[in-house]
Amino acid sequence: MQETPILMKLSDFDYEVPAELVAQQPTRVRDESRMLVRQADGSIGHRIFKDLPQCLPAGSVIILNDTSVIQSRLHGFLKTGAQIEIFLLEQISGLTWRAMAKPLKKLRVGTEILFSTGGNEAVVRSIETAPDGEVPCIEVEFSHREGKPDFDFFSWLDEIGETPLPPYIHRDLLRRRDPVDKTRYETVFAKVKGSVAAPTAGLHFTPGVLEELKKSGCTLASVTLHVGGGTFLPVRQEDVALHQIHAEYFLVPPNTVAAIIAAKNSGAPVFCVGTTSFRAIESLWQLALQKGLPPEDLSGQWHETRLFLHPQTAEDRYRPKVTDGIITNFHQPKSTLFMLISALIGLANAKAMYATAIEKKYRLFSYGDSTLLFLNKS
């Protein structure tokens, strides 16, 4: 009698992280990061990111996420003088945002939060309850105390806010608004404001690498997926299938869909830069299949995705509908991003690849080194 495969648990996605390998600073030059290259047959090579154009087949389509990071961490104070930290998660409408706040116990519905520059304030409109182990959020509405009709909210954020670095990148009080972070925790092709975290796989690209990719016969195309606050929230359930991933919003332009279809018709591969681009493209194709529509009919529109990929068993793999390869960073243990990579190449293979990277002293996580993964879709 055949045994039922054991489903994956959260602990299966754990691995040991040497603290000294967690990158605290970006490399001096973006494209001088190291790049681990894993071929579809599982063989591994080691390159520098500026070698990327030499590693991809001519005619490849490269999908870039052109979202831009907002300075989403704010420090304000109450009329009592108490200090409050606000971390913006999602724009609800206009100047109304969903956010995390601490200390939350000092806030009530109607509480005013003041900021030291520009005469701006926020009013707490609601406070959410949250399941055990989850972080409750607030809804805040921003305004200008002088009622200026030309209040440019994003320009104000750029002036007063801080770069939303993940918690494993440590900054003391003097470096909380380091201009290096503001520049380097942003891709060179960022265009559309809206992310509360950078699509970090794109941080390694330089104008020179992009130009060399075009010269080598590759097509560059874009999507916009605004990275939400859920990227910072850990998976807490041991049964990973119970985890509820936060919604993120994406748009795939018509010319990107056209480039992908042309590539598929000619046999050229499609490479997604980062898990964000991957989720946008795969979500659009899945949605088109569900609706019985061609992907072209869904292009140029905003959609919601909660795509959460993880292997069901140790041998399980997800076969992408579009993507032939992915360029991505090294991800935290037990994270939804590491689970996605495990779904693409298999959990055992993902752990073996990360073990090789750690042995070779690759720099890990957001400011760390890169991987180029050719996917085996058979």
pLDDT, tens digit, 9 for 90 and up, residues 241-251? 888 888 899 99
Residue 239 near residue 82 (C-beta atoms within 8 A): no
What is the Cα–Cα distance from 287 to 271, expressed in whole angstroms? 20
* pLDDT at residue 284 greater than cutoff 50: yes
For residues 141 and 213, membership in a common domain is answered with no
The residues facing 364 across adjacent strands are 22
Other CB atoms within 10 Å distance of the CB of residue 5: 11
Band (149; pLDDT cuts 50, 70, 90): low
The C-alpha atoms of residue 170 and residue 200 are separated, in whole angstroms, by 17
Task: Assess whether 24 and 135 both reside in one domain.
Answer: no
pTM for this prediction? 0.94
- Looking at the fold, whether 341 and 293 belong to one and the same domain comes out as yes
Are residues 23 and 84 located together in one domain of the fold? no
Mean pLDDT of the chain: 92
Whether residue 2 lies inside any domain: the answer is no
At residue 133, does pLDDT exceed 60? no
- Residue at 171 is within a domain: no
| Percent of the chain whose pLDDT exceeds 70 | 94
Please name which of 139, 174, 179 lies closest in space to residue 163, comparing C-alpha atoms.
179
Domain at 81, CATH number: 2.40.10.240
- Are 60 and 79 contained in the same domain? no
Buried residues in 54-92 as b, exposed as e (16+ CB within 10 A): ebbeeebbbbbbbbbbbbbbbbbeeeeeeebebbbbbbe
In a shared domain, residues 86 and 221: no
How far apart CA 287 and CA 283 sit, in angstroms, is 6
Residues 353 and 368 in one domain: yes
- The reported pLDDT for the residue numbered 62 is 98
Q: How confident is the model at residue 118 (pLDDT cuts 50, 70, 90)?
A: low
From the centroid of its chain, how far is CA 28?
22
Q: How many CB atoms lie within 10 A of CB 179?
A: 9
Q: Verify that 63 and 140 share a domain, yes or no.
A: no
Full residue range of the structural domain in which residue 228 is found: 10-69+183-374
pLDDT, tens only, 287-307: 999 999 999 999 999 999 999
